[in-house]
Amino acid sequence: MIGRVYFRRMQNEAGARSQTGGCLGVFAGRRCSDAQSLGTAHMILLLLALGSLLISRPGQAQDDDLERITANRGQIEDIVQSIQDTPEELRDGVHFRIDSLTLELGALILAFPIAQVESAEVEAQFFKQVDWLQTFIAQRYERLQDRIRQERARFDEFDTGIQPAIARAFQQDLRKISYRYVDLLAELLGLRERQGHVDEQGREQLRGAMTLAAERLSGQILLDAMTLSELRNMLRLDAGNAELINAERAIERKQNRSLESLENLLGLMERIDINVGGYRALLLAERGSIGVELLNREVFMTLLGNRLEAVRQQLVTKGPNIVFKLMVFFSFIALTYFVARLIQSLVRSLLQRDSVKLHQLLHGMLVSLSFGVVFAIGLVIALSTIGISLVPMLAGLGVAGVVVGFALQDTLANFASGWMILIYRPYDVDDHVIAGGVEGTVKRMNLVSTTIATFDNQRLVVPNSRIWGDVITNLTANRIRRLSIPVSVAFGEDLNRVEKVLREEVAQHEGILRKPEPIVFVDTLGSSEIVMMTHAWVRTEDYWRLLRSLTKRLKQRLDDEDMEIPFPQQDVYIRSFPGTPPRFSASLGQDDRGEPPAEAASESLPRDPDHR
């Protein structure tokens, strides 16, 4: 104020000087000097005025800020008074404008530099505005809650369509504004405390209201969680029920809004030092996700305690029933095992009767299946006694069967080939077979593979698909088998005599069957021998023994009869080249023409069969 007075005085004096013409050049004497001194004094006064103006600026700024707060409050009161004359369909917009101005007013009050105010009058006026704002916020909060309840009454939670969706979105907006009001109220209480105007009653009322709201939301969340659990259990039994599906979606929407509201409320409660550990644990449990809140010791201990308490309650209420069901289940499994073993023994005894002619591989498979089928049926019945249904599992297996089929296509091919082998019975246990590129004796077979023992005591496991997809030679499938022994004699031997000797020896050999009758015949004419083929029939189990003994005996008999068994031989003739001396050719057994003499040709190679 002082600075403004000095500033106006300076302006008046400057105007007077301008009217008189100032210090002109014609007055160069003392008067001009006095005028200059007066100007210097005016400059000093100007600097003092500016300094006074700068010093007094904070107070002026506080006045201006307080005026803006008062003006904003007046604007809000004017709009509130005009609501009665506003059409019903426009009132929500007017109320939204009031809420916006109220939040702006709160921001102005919180930004007011009350700590720098030295005037008691300004401080009293400021806190008068704070008191009004606190009272107005309480009114606006109640009005928002009433408006939310009106919108909830218009549409049920289960209503669908555009209008119910808009109503639910509008309710959520109103809730957000109410949370901002609560936050602003907490800030105002903190402002009072910092200035020494502690409002214990207001703080306790706010803490009580927020705690009560958190308790209500928590209870609603727990109730909706139980409702959702029951609805989902009903949907498991009736998955196609449209009404149950719509109800589940509606409760899920409501639950999500409640969880969001509780999270916003907990943020406000933490600002006024309210313990929210239990509520945070509830949020984590219901959302089913892990957050940083789990690092809070109280939240973690609360969650752990809730889980342990749930387990304890389950053990107390359902423990005896669970123990009884387990006893029934295992008792039924044990009974099923003994019944399956009994059925397996009965099937084995029936299949071992002389009147039952079955493939040994099929015999073993039927015995195994008798146990597996009975035990599987008993297991299904045992699971049903304790309330576990396999129908959903089987439905899931139908979907997963496609994936499993692609992954196990080789195994399934072996399985199918195993059934084909059992049906068509190309071989049996202890049969000598050539199958899948392997020769040996069949020892064991299942639906996936066949175990074959080779003659050098190796055990090979051959996939059934490889056996069924190739030629199967069963060397022991028939009761009798033919021996085929080739015998080579020299070209100079009497074939009739040789045939007679071979027939006599085959007929005299022990183990050779008379029917079919053995035969001996000329098979082929080789380059150095005549091959006589001997066919004789023997029992399959005697094949290898008689093959070795008869082959040995035929060789011994031919030696006894002094019959030659030839070896491969070749006659070599040497011709002389041009320029070869006659004597050298003659020494090689050649005449002058290069041809060997007749007597030399006949003696070119020895006929001693032992000659090498």
- Give me the residue spans of the domains in the chain: 2-21+31-55, 86-271+285-293, 296-386, 409-474, 480-560
Three-state DSSP class for residue 440:
strand
Residue 610 structure tokens: 């032992």
Instruction: Kindly give, in sequence order, each residue whose CB lies less than 8 Å from that of residue 109, ignoring residues fewer than 6 positions away.
Output: 69, 126, 129, 130, 133, 188, 191
pLDDT at 43 (0 to 100): 56
Topology of domain 409-474 in CATH is SH3 type barrels. (2.30.30)
pLDDT at 256 (0 to 100): 83
Compute the distance between CA of residue 535 and CA of residue 546 in angstroms, rounded to an integer.
Answer: 12
pLDDT tens by residue, 277-321: 777 777 777 776 555 554 555 555 665 666 666 677 767 777 777
* Helix (H), strand (E) at residue 264: helix 242-271
Distances in Å between the Cα of 264 and the Cα atoms of 99, 139, 177, 312 are 19, 21, 11, 32
> Model's pTM, two decimal places?
0.42
Amino acid identity of residue 297, one-letter, is R
Cis peptide before 596 (omega within 30 of 0): no
∠ at Cα 525 (521, 528), nearest 5°? 125
Cα–Cα nearest to 430, from 414, 448, 446, 445: 445
pLDDT at 578 (0 to 100): 65
pLDDT at 198 (0 to 100): 74
pLDDT at 30 (0 to 100): 35
Compute the distance between CA of residue 90 and CA of residue 297 in angstroms, rounded to an integer.
Answer: 50
Compute the distance between CA of residue 300 and CA of residue 293 in angstroms, rounded to an integer.
Answer: 8
Asked if residue 284 lies in contact with residue 299, where contact means CB atoms within 8 angstroms, the answer is: yes
Residue 95 structure tokens: 């109320």
Amino acid identity of residue 570, one-letter, is Q
Compute the distance between CA of residue 164 and CA of residue 194 in angstroms, rounded to an integer.
Answer: 45
pLDDT at 84 (0 to 100): 83
Half-sphere exposure of 236 (CA within 13 A, CB side): 10
Which residue do the tokens 């119910």 mark? 164
Which parts of the chain have pLDDT scores under 70? 1-60, 288-310, 314, 356-361, 389-408, 569-571, 575-612
pLDDT at 403 (0 to 100): 61
Three-state DSSP class for residue 487:
strand
CATH for 480-560 (3.30.1490.20, 3.40.50.10540, 3.30.70.100, 3.60.15.10)? 3.30.70.100
Three-class SS string for 151-210? Answer: HHHHCCCCCCCHHHHHHHHHHHHHHHHHHHHHHHHHHHHHHHHHCCCCCHHHHHHHHHHH
Compute the distance between CA of residue 331 and CA of residue 339 in angstroms, rounded to an integer.
Answer: 12
Compute the distance between CA of residue 445 and CA of residue 462 in angstroms, rounded to an integer.
Answer: 10
Distances in Å between the Cα of 52 and the Cα atoms of 12, 59, 287, 402 are 18, 12, 63, 92
Instruction: Kindly give, in sequence order, each residue whose CB lies less than 8 Å from that of residue 105, ignoring residues fewer than 6 positions away.
Output: 69, 72, 73, 76, 133
Distances in Å between the Cα of 97 and the Cα atoms of 79, 80, 448 are 9, 10, 80
